[in-house]
Copies of this chain bind each other. A is one copy, B any other.
Amino acid sequence: MADLGTGEIYTIAIAGSGKLASKLLQALQQNNLNIDFLWGRNGVTLQELAKSSNAQVVEKEFLTQIQSPCIVFLCVPDAALQDVIEMFSGNKNLLLIQMSGSIPRIQTLGHQAETAVFYPLMTFTKDRDVNWKLIPVFLETDNANTSLLLEKLAMQLGNTCRYMNAENRKSLHLAAVFANNFVNHSLAIAYKICAEGNLDFALLKPLVEETISKAFETNPALVQTGPAVRQDWPVINEHIRFLSSSEYFRNVYEANTHSIQNINI
């Protein structure tokens, strides 16, 4: 239950029981926002999550029929979002919060559940704590009361927040795929090359930390180094030969090399 100072007391539910659900639950609890209900499709992980909280696992009918204001955080896969929102949209007491960067806010008709977006820009991992206060959060709503509620929620969790429309959120999400997923994959390839040469991957840590620190002080394209930007073809060709047994890694190498050589700064 939460009194966020908006003049209304809300119960809080989380839909889903994956990494995001688990980290959000933890953050809410740590900031004195008690989770009342958990709903989801995976009974096993749902029970695990219930154990780490006072929350009650409920059936979908419980939420579709609840008679008091209830915030439902939708920590479900993007592909399931439309179905879950449709499932709950008949109950006007529900505020359905989308947590996703890549999906536009799903509109419901009047006199139905309201939808809003609360998108935390972060990567979440099981068994790994993350400092919620450092996470920027992006909001979308067309209701002034809900604005106030979302802002109070972000404030209570310690997040900086700002409003962002679906189009910009999609851009930001794509940027995050490069900055997080593809950065991680480059490191995964580096790890594998090190492992095959019996080299300690940790040797690369100071280099990577310097790379990141430097990149955020400027436009990273301006500080690009390495054989690609130097057009150092003997080294590039040697690397491509080295990667000849791994088609996928070689493609990543070639795509990056050509892109580095052709980026418009």
Q: Which A185-211 residues have a C-beta within 8 angstroms of B?
A: 185-199, 201-211
Q: A43 at the A/B interface (Cβ < 8 Å)?
A: no
A198–B262 CA distance with the chains assembled, in angstroms: 22
- Contact present for A102 and B216 (CB under 8 Å): no
- Contact present for B263 and A188 (CB under 8 Å): yes
- Contact present for A251 and B260 (CB under 8 Å): no
| Given A210-B123, A216-B205, also A186-B194 (CB < 8 A) | no
Q: A107 at the A/B interface (Cβ < 8 Å)?
A: no
- Contact present for B191 and A204 (CB under 8 Å): no
Q: Which A162-203 residues have a C-beta within 8 angstroms of B?
A: 167-168, 170-172, 174-199, 201-203
Q: SS class of chain A's interface: helix, strand, loop or mixed?
A: helix
A238–B201 CA distance with the chains assembled, in angstroms: 34
- Contact present for A226 and B181 (CB under 8 Å): yes
- Contact present for A210 and B178 (CB under 8 Å): no
Q: A41 at the A/B interface (Cβ < 8 Å)?
A: no
- Contact present for A223 and B125 (CB under 8 Å): yes
Chain B neighbourhood of A229, CB < 8 A: 181
Which among A48-56, A66-74, A109-117, A128-136 touches the partner chain? Answer: A128-136
- Contact present for B123 and A185 (CB under 8 Å): no
- Contact present for A204 and B255 (CB under 8 Å): no
Could you list 6 further interchain pairs (A-B, Cβ under 8 angstroms) beyond the known A77-B232, A177-B253? A122-B206, A174-B242, A175-B199, A179-B204, A181-B226, A188-B263
